[in-house]
Amino acid sequence: HIGTFSAEGTFDGAIDHLEHLVDLGVDAIELLPVVEFSGRRGWGYDGVNLFAPHHAYGGPDGLKRLIDAAHDRGIGVIVDVVYNHLGPAGNYLPEFGPYFAPRHQTNWGDGVNFDGPGRDEVRRFVIDNALMWLRDYHADGLRLDAVHAIVDESGTHILAELAAAVDALAAGTGRPLFVIAESDLNDPRFVRSRDDGGYGLAASWADEWHHALHATLTGELDGYYADFGPMALLAKALRQAWVYDGSYSGYRQRVHGRPPTGLAGNQFVVCTQNHDQIGNRAAGERSSVLMSDGRLRVAAALLLTSPFVPLLFQGEEWGARTPFPYFTDHADPELGRAVTTGRRREFASFGWNPQDVPDSQQLSTLESARLDWAELSKNGHVDLLAWYRQLIALRRKVPALTDPRLDRVDAQCDQDEGWLVVRRGPVAVAANLGARSWTFPLDRPAEMLALSDLRVRRERQGVVLPPDTVAIVTEGEAGGGV
């Protein structure tokens, strides 16, 4: 998030921290929406001028400088775009044509008109916008917000048409370009090829991976976390990303999803936390506040040794303690009050005290979310950052860890004992979430590639793990002498 990633809250401010990301081992950065929205501060999902980079961040030239600087350092840039709704303040598109239609309703009102009368110009507007970020600003990819809120009953879904346009641009420019979707439908069509009846997107976010991990490591079972918690569901997520694949969801009170048959691990993006999962809490607490240091290390190990594309939320790598609450800057005070009141009402379903939800309109709410880069030099944060760097380097070094084939992932657990083991070829990730020490047996000679802390030790019968520790073990030649 450009507004909180640096003290300046600008594209240029973000450039100053790119070297940190290079040292961490990051391949790409994903920018939360950067289009013009109401006021100077916000998450960006209330955008209304879709072709204009936000003035408070540095405008068009600032975005160009950031993308050029990232590319100079070997880092790609993904831009988050929102085509399922526009913000409540400053949206004048309906004055110019049938951009919205009541035949499809969303959480934000009338749906975008992708399939009704006048749809052709609406679809072109969205596709032209998508291509602009890739062609004119040289972004490398797009992340589409909440595509489950896009309804299109026409013969060619707007996402398939958009993906085809991006592929054509990639072919014409000779640059690899891609589109990632956020969806909670657990529907393989989004990422299946168009020749196979899908939309041809590169990947889909898989929030259920996060939910299963979070519920297991924190014990929280309120709201949609009620569908998770048992360690067996976490093991299922570690094998295939989606937990609900045509099975019954108690929270939804219906069968949900389809099996990810034939999909590869690199067609899913997973995380231990992101802006939504943090910001959609009453006080915007990060995992670093909700988990022990040991469990943070377990979460990082499971993420960065998974067959999926791992996503980190800014500051996660050092256990940043700054919250990430929702914040706005609407000029209309009535609209601002309505947003805060609505969020407090929504959070009551999780059992949280509505009064714990900060006022999104207050400047202090934004300021509380700014990363505190001084934490990098403090005890605890330094060690966790070293752990993330070690895991990312290990992911690159061991070929089995970037093998996208899901049929080569085996995840087993014991709820009563609290242990979890994920095997990927010659690599085993063993975690102990139980109340007492547990020994991971070694059948053959093995090397300890990575340890969560010095409490983990190798003994003749295996690797002894105290509670809330994890070890990564490799057999034979996979260690490469590490």
Residue type, 232: A
Copy the structure tokens of residue 389: 């760097």
Nearest to 29 by CA among 11, 54, 50, 56: 11
Which DSSP string corresponds to 273-330? --HHHHHTSSS---HHHHS-HHHHHHHHHHHHTSSSEEE--TTGGGT-----------
Nearest to 392 by CA among 285, 316, 278: 316
Q: Residue written as tokens 């950052």? A: 385
Copy the structure tokens of residue 446: 């093995």
Copy the structure tokens of residue 325: 């609450």
Which DSSP string corresponds to 124-185? HHHHHHHHHHHHTS---EEEES-GGG----SSS-HHHHHHHHHHHHHHHHT---EEEE--SS
Reply yes or no on whether 145 is catalytic: yes
Copy the structure tokens of residue 3: 């507004």
Q: To the nearest 10°, the Cα dihedral for 173, 174, 176, 181? A: 30
Q: How far is residue 310's CA from residue 294's CA, in Å, rounded to a whole number?
A: 19
Nearest to 283 by CA among 210, 354, 367: 354
Going from the C-alpha of 334 to that of each of 338, 340, 396, the distances in angstroms are 6, 10, 51
Which of 36, 80, 115, 182 is flagged as catalytic? 182
CB contact at 8 A, 143 and 79: yes
Q: How far is residue 55's CA from residue 199's CA, in Å, rounded to a whole number?
A: 34
If phi > 0 it is left, if psi is from -120 to 50 it is alpha, else beta; for residue 212 that is alpha
Reply yes or no on whether 182 is catalytic: yes
Copy the structure tokens of residue 176: 């690899």
CB contact at 8 A, 404 and 425: no
For 183, other C-beta atoms within 10 Å of its C-beta total 23
Copy the structure tokens of residue 10: 């600008």
Q: How far is residue 49's CA from residue 249's CA, in Å, rounded to a whole number?
A: 38
**β-strands 141-144, 247-249 pairing:** unpaired
Q: How far is residue 49's CA from residue 250's CA, in Å, rounded to a whole number?
A: 39
Which of 30, 46, 80, 145 is flagged as catalytic? 145
Determine phi and psi for 473, rounding to 5 degrees.
Answer: -120, 140
So which residues are the catalytic ones? 145, 182
